[in-house]
Structure 1
Amino acid sequence: MVMRLFCCLLLLSAMPSWAATKLEASVDKNPVLAGEFFMLNISVDDTVKGEQPDTSSLLKDFVVGPTSLSSRTNIINGSINKQTTWSVKLMTRAEGDYTIPAFSVAGLTSKPIKLKVAKRSVDADKNNEIFLKTSLSSNSLFVQEAGIYTIKLYLAKELLDGSLSAPSMEDAQLTQLGKQTESYELVDGKRYLVITREYLIQPQKSGVYTIAGPAFQGRVQQNYRQLEVSALGDDQQIEIKPIPSDYKGTWLPSELVNLDEEWQPNDNTVEVGTPITRTITLTALGVTKEQLPEISMPTIDGIRSYPDKKENNNAVRDGRVVSQQTASYALLPQKPGTYTLPEIQLPWFNTKMNRINVATLPKRTITVTPSSTAISSTTNSNQQTIDTLTSSPNNNVDATQLESMQVQKNIPLWLIAVAILGYVLWIVTVIFYWFNRSTSNTTKKVQSTADIINQPSLKKLVAVAKSNDNKVFYNELNNYAVLVTNKNVGAIDELCCIVSNSELNNYIMQLQAQLYSNRTTNCDLNAIIKILENHQTQALKSQQAVLKDLYD
């Protein structure tokens, strides 16, 4: 036991002390050319986990690539050496003398590095197998005006791999448009693969700015060898002009703004209940789709408006951003009359003429006529046939009239007999009248009950609801409303007033919105039928109670 402990202590004493003692920073090239990538290596003589040098200070003077980490352990003659290395690819855009700052890791600090960057010769660029070209759609933009920045990478060798950095600009948003494209071009008789990227530039502040050109670094195949290559794009100067002080409203800078509309049907005269689709298209050059303002539909009394689908799109045409907004509205005339839809105006700033313009949709007048397809009104039940009871006592000789007759002193016997007979007939007539009145009351009671029972049937609505065809159901509902209300125009609205049920109103509004705005609104057709059935049942009970009170 003592011997084992002694051996362990001996082995421990023989092992070297592994502790970081030195941090070094170095570059693989010095001097380097402007636009040429070189490698910065930061090494420590130990294994370091969960810690790495801060390279953010390099962003001021260099294009900084990703950082890679490697570690190794060497055993030579029983001596164990460990090393951890961080590698960063760097590039400078301009010639001059630079200083790579000191770094700190694991309590150790490296020494700064003096770096000399030489000017890249024009001949070197011409003879290179790879180069970059950059261009701007315009060197002068207004604040929030959209510009296009184009990058073209020319490759004369087979590309194995590589990375192309994005351009950068202060106080601006740069966004790549779509995917990069590939094509082939002949330059001085040499065939190049051209990779093209387009970026959308949206400046946020006025002033003179520099767009830092992109940088490319990669590997190409040449004579069975792999070569490291790099290229640097030129910087671009751009002037950003401020928003004019006299401009009012939503800022919309553009070279061209156009408002257009389409009507379906394209008629100035329509019938009540005929859906009209109005599609408004806004097109603007030099702005993004997010900058397009909302086009609102004015409210017209007597015409319901339902917003339909809306789409915003943009594309690049001839180096310019073209954005378009398409908004559709469903208009539903409710009552006859003449309506004028007011003019729609949209102010915008013309960046070519440097002045405020207004895009306009002219006012439009439409005439709404009564519906010709509605079921003609039924015979007015309130027009009763005049009771021409010929047996009414008012049509017979009144006793008081007999009494007022002048009685002659000498009355013939036959005249007395006629008078008596007339009186008897009058009594018979009165008895007959009261008998017929009782029979007539019974008939009228039966007829009134029959009128209540024979309300418009809901069977057609029930059958149509099973097909889930909202349009057919709405037409059948309108027919039912015409029978109930005796109105050809606004029958459904009148039916809602008669039933006086808020749920029915909501269901019908949902149904109309689904029909005339193409929205995916679910409407419970059976619920509408159920409400109408309940209304008929309540009306029947109420009227039967009234009849019972009248005829009991």
Structure 2
Amino acid sequence: MIRPWRSLVAILWLALVPMLAQAAVRATLDRSTAHLGETVTLNLHSDTAPISAPDLSVLNQDFQVLGQSSGTTRSFVNGKSTVDYSYGVALRPLHEGTLQIPPLTIGNEQTQPLTLEVTAPSAADADVHGPVFVEARFDPQHPYVGQQVALSVKLYYTTNLANASLSDPAIDGADVNRLGNDTDYQAQRNGRTYNVIERRYAVVPQKAGALTMAPIVFQGDLLDPNDPNSFLGMGSPVQAQSNALTLQVQAAPASWGPSAWLPARQLTLGLDGLPDAGMPVRVGQPFNLTLRIDAIGLSFEALPDLTLPTLDGATAYPDKPVTGNRVDGGWIIGHREHRFAIVPGRAGSLTLPAITVKWWNVVTDQPETATIPAHTIQVLPAIGATASTGAPAPAASAPAATVGTGRPQAPHAIDSGTGRPTRSPWMWTALVLGVLWLFTLVALLLRRGRSPRPVKSVRTGPDAPVTPKDRREAFLRAARSGDTGTQAHALLVWAQGERPGLRHLEAVAAALDSQEQRAMIATLERARYGGAAAGPSPAALEAAFVHGFAWREAGTGGPADEPLPPLYPFKLR
């Protein structure tokens, strides 16, 4: 009965593999408007899988397909490797108007539809005569301060060129950055076919008012194929320049308020890492959250740092942010990502408050708010811990309490003379078992011929009482050995001699008032369980505890008074 099920699972898996391997594909145009006769590029992008050749027959009604190409770009930013698989299609519009690029089917995915505005050549274009000319255009022409403007510079030519150079734009009061590589295509103007080299820039105005860009100047030599001197590089000098352009920059609306000014074409917030409903979260068990913000038309430097609000009942440990920009068409897409390790400190409901970012939509010219709604996570008690969330300990006269397994457990007895809890028999039993385990560990180390000196065992019995000094000296010898397991056990045995109720080093750390000692225990625990390269140095470990434990006073409301001590998390990589 097993083999048929295995065969069925294998068949289903083989059927699903192509679907899982096919990544979602994004479609963009290199521009949103074009003159009739110009060439536009349809770009397809995927983050995880190469893109197969799509069926382009749905474009034949409005476009002429001139060519297709594919490529792969790999980058490594802020320690994170990314790959971009691209597929480009050169298209020439066949008529004016609002042309639709319908969804393209690629494997099991479909791209989103796109729109291209195609206009007739302008009067200035019709008057253009000659083998070389330059055009420049801002999109949009009336931006806000801080809004990205797409600057397109196009060089039109009909014959071969040599020694060609094109000046860079200079705009006083704006940051100008070149985007990507030049694009080559062909266009028709005034009945002539031109080769076109297009260069794109991102312009970000820094002040309101009129900002003027000087003409873009081209200089080079025209090579006449019928002139033999052209083969020797002796062409005819030629110079052309674009028209001067002016940006009318608007200030942020007066009603915007104190929020950071974020003018963007699109802005999205995301939250990853929320625990699934079927995966319980327990006290002291860390889980990771990732906050991310992406904006079209804003670089990551302009995006705000994302922080988690203060969590009631948990501690958030931030990691180093991941940032970067990418270019899609003529627009910058800024990305900022912040990661947090969340460690619940008590059982019950843990609420992650809502996170909002106010931004200005430059497409609709309206304010908008991106929101991550509040989430509530149910936190269970730690395994083996009581479900109490901080109730006071029962008095000596209280009845026996039920803990964990449901069996009655006797309360601590109180010494009438000192008023301090007496050591119950089970504490001594745990201590004896620990000592016996230490004997076994020492015997194994001696058998294997290991060089570090074993911790001196603590003998029990009426003829050899265990003193705090013995435990202290045993720990100091263990600290010098460099063995993290021996160090941790000796430190716990010493602490239990002074505080018998402490069952593990996390409880010891929670009961300490010294930040240095707590940090040293956290380093020791990371070396034992977290895969750290090395534990604390013997000298640092010995120095931290050479003068004994700095115990927290009872009733101070610190971690020692909580039903379960907080965890010092480590990163899993």
Aligned partner of 2:247 in structure 1 is 238
Match 2:129 to one of 126, 129, 139: 126
Evaluate the alpha carbon distance shift between residue 144 and residue 501 of structure 1 in structure 2; reply closer, same or farther with a 3 A threshold: closer
Residue 129 of structure 2 aligns to a residue whose secondary structure is: helix
Aligned partner of 1:8 in structure 2 is none
Evaluate the alpha carbon distance shift between residue 482 and residue 194 of structure 1 in structure 2; reply closer, same or farther with a 3 A threshold: farther
Deviation string, structure 1 residues 474-515 (Cα, Å, up to 9, x no partner): 9999998997867789x5453135565442223356789999
Aligned partner of 1:175 in structure 2 is 177
In structure 2, how many angstroms separate the alpha carbons of the residues matched to 1:349 and 1:364? 26
Aligned partner of 2:424 in structure 1 is 383
Aligned partner of 2:49 in structure 1 is none
Q: Give aligned-pair identity as a percent.
A: 23
Letter in 2 for 1:250: A
Aligned partner of 1:138 in structure 2 is 140
In structure 1, how many angstroms separate the alpha carbons of the residues matched to 2:296 and 2:165? 32
Residue 321 of structure 2 aligns to a residue whose secondary structure is: strand
Q: Work out whether 1:371 is the aligned partner of 2:382.
A: yes
In structure 2, how many angstroms separate the alpha carbons of the residues matched to 1:208 and 1:537? 69
Residue 228 of structure 1 aligns to a residue whose secondary structure is: strand
Q: Is the contact between residue 275 and residue 516 of structure 1 (CA under 8 Å) also seen in structure 2?
A: no
Q: Comparing both structures, which one devotes a greater share of its residues to helix? A: 1
Residue 379 of structure 2 aligns to a residue whose secondary structure is: strand
What is the correspondence of 1:462-477 to structure 2 with a 5 Å cutoff?
none
What is the correspondence of 1:44-123 to structure 2 with a 5 Å cutoff?
none
The count of residues paired between Structure 1 and Structure 2 equals: 353
Q: Is the contact between residue 214 and residue 233 of structure 1 (CA under 8 Å) also seen in structure 2?
A: yes
Match 2:269 to one of 243, 256, 259: 259
Evaluate the alpha carbon distance shift between residue 474 and residue 361 of structure 1 in structure 2; reply closer, same or farther with a 3 A threshold: farther
Q: Is the contact between residue 468 and residue 494 of structure 2 (CA under 8 Å) also seen in structure 1?
A: no
Evaluate the alpha carbon distance shift between residue 140 and residue 366 of structure 1 in structure 2; reply closer, same or farther with a 3 A threshold: same
Aligned partner of 1:228 in structure 2 is 237
Deviation of 1:123 after TM superposition, in Å, equals 8.4
In structure 2, how many angstroms separate the alpha carbons of the residues matched to 1:476 and 1:263? 35
Letter in 2 for 1:183: D
Deviation string, structure 1 residues 431-451 (Cα, Å, up to 9, x no partner): xxxxxxxxxxxx974374289
The normalised TM-score by structure 1 is 0.52
Aligned partner of 2:24 in structure 1 is none
Structure 2: unaligned runs, 5 residues or longer: 1-123, 386-403, 413-421, 427-459, 552-573
Q: Is the contact between residue 360 and residue 368 of structure 2 (CA under 8 Å) also seen in structure 1?
A: yes
In structure 2, how many angstroms separate the alpha carbons of the residues matched to 1:295 and 1:177? 27
In structure 1, how many angstroms separate the alpha carbons of the residues matched to 2:198 and 2:270? 34
Deviation string, structure 1 residues 378-420 (Cα, Å, up to 9, x no partner): 99992249xxxxxxxxxxxxxxxxxxxxxxxxxxxxxxxxxxx
Residue 311 of structure 2 aligns to a residue whose secondary structure is: coil
Aligned partner of 2:466 in structure 1 is 449
Residue 243 of structure 1 aligns to a residue whose secondary structure is: coil
In structure 1, how many angstroms separate the alpha carbons of the residues matched to 2:466 and 2:509? 25
Deviation of 1:328 after TM superposition, in Å, equals 1.0
Residue 305 of structure 2 aligns to a residue whose secondary structure is: coil
Q: Which has the larger radius of gyration?
A: 1
Deviation of 1:185 after TM superposition, in Å, equals 2.5
The normalised TM-score by structure 2 is 0.50
Evaluate the alpha carbon distance shift between residue 513 and residue 321 of structure 1 in structure 2; reply closer, same or farther with a 3 A threshold: farther
Q: Is the contact between residue 423 and residue 500 of structure 2 (CA under 8 Å) also seen in structure 1?
A: no
Aligned partner of 1:203 in structure 2 is 205
Deviation of 1:532 after TM superposition, in Å, equals 7.6
In structure 1, how many angstroms separate the alpha carbons of the residues matched to 2:299 and 2:184? 27
Residue 446 of structure 1 aligns to a residue whose secondary structure is: coil
Evaluate the alpha carbon distance shift between residue 528 and residue 339 of structure 1 in structure 2; reply closer, same or farther with a 3 A threshold: farther
Match 2:542 to one of 526, 530, 536: 530
Match 1:305 to one of 296, 300, 316: 316
In structure 2, how many angstroms separate the alpha carbons of the residues matched to 1:473 and 1:233? 77
Q: Is the contact between residue 200 and residue 330 of structure 2 (CA under 8 Å) also seen in structure 1?
A: no
Deviation string, structure 1 residues 503-541 (Cα, Å, up to 9, x no partner): 2223356789999999x99973545753687478999xx
